Structure formats: C-alpha cells, structure tokens
Amino acid sequence: MNCIFCDIASGEDKKNWVFETEKCCCFPDIDPKAPVHLLLIPKIHISSLQDLKKNNIEFINDMFLSIPKITEKLGIKSYRLVANTGKDAGQSVMHLHFHILGGRELGWPPG
Ligand code: AMP
C-alpha cells in the first residue's frame, strides 16, 4: 500500500520528529496553518477514526496519552486537536492523524 504517513512512520528519516513512542510519532505539518502545527500519527496504518477497532485501540490510547507530553515539551498551553475524518471533512491523507494546532488565537467555529 502506498501511504505517505506509513513511509514517515517507518522512521527512516526522523530528523524533524518532535516526539515518538513505540506506537506513535509526531512531526510538523508540511503546510502549517498556525505557528505550531504538528501531526500525530499511529505507527500502524489506520485509515481514519472510522477504522477504529478493539484491536487497534491501544494505538489511540497511546496517541492521546502522548498529547500532553508533546504540548508540555513544546510549552504550548492552549491548542486545538483536529481529526478530519472523511473527504467532506477535509481528510486528504487516509492514515489517521491528529492535527495539534496552537501558537495563535484560533477562531471558532472552524470553516
Ligand atoms: P488532512 O487534510 O486532515 O488529511 O491533513 C493532512 C495533512 O498532512 C495536511 O495538513 C498536509 O499539509 C500534511 N502533509 C501531507 N504530506 C506531508 C508530509 N510529507 N509531511 C508533513 N505533513 C504532510
């Protein structure tokens, strides 16, 4: 399967990773929408939140537990977590990812 985030998660090039565990990794979005714009992904292929199953939930648990560690490490006190799910919601990479956005005031509701 050709998946850009699986390629990244393989860890061949970790130089811009800001955080990793055995199950997930976090790196800057290539097209940042805020001063802080990170992507947090599982190290296995899960297409989206719609693809969550009991047998992959440990990856999601690990991702959620990683979030406060990442934001603490980067000194971000306010941030937004986004998981675009499905084409109409703006998901362009079909490998589950959380956007972590911060470093500026974020409007609500999002577009
Ligand atoms: P989404 O549109 O919610 O699926 O988010 C996918 C995100 O992945 C977009 O914000 C892209 O800018 C980002 N992206 C795509 N390719 C790369 C890459 N090679 N490295 C870092 N971010 C990427």
Domain coordinates of the chain in residue numbers?
Answer: 4-9+17-102
48 ligand 1 Cβ < 6 A: no
Residue 10 vs residues 25, 32, 44, 91, 103: alpha-carbon distances, Å = 10, 22, 9, 21, 29
Tokens of 56: 């992959």
Atom 12, ligand 1: residue with shortest CA distance: 31
User: Tens place of pLDDT for every residue, the chain, 111 residues?
Assistant: 899 999 999 999 999 999 999 999 999 999 999 999 999 999 999 999 999 999 999 999 999 999 999 999 999 999 999 999 999 999 999 999 999 999 999 999 987
Cα separation, 67 vs 12, whole angstroms: 23
Is 97 an active-site residue?
yes
62 ligand 1 Cβ < 6 A: no
Give the per-residue pLDDT at 105: 94
88 ligand 1 Cβ < 6 A: no
Tokens of 83: 């998981």
Place of tokens 């290539």: 30
Place of tokens 């703006």: 90
Give the per-residue pLDDT at 66: 98
User: Considering the domain 4-9+17-102, what is its CATH architecture?
Assistant: 2-Layer Sandwich (3.30)
Give the per-residue pLDDT at 93: 98
Closest CA to 98 of 49, 53, 30: 49
Give the per-residue pLDDT at 85: 98
Give the per-residue pLDDT at 99: 98
CA–centroid distance, 72 to ligand 1, in Å, is 23
Q: Mind giving me the DSSP string for 63-88?
A: HHHHHHHHHHHHT-SSEEEE---SGG
Give the per-residue pLDDT at 79: 97
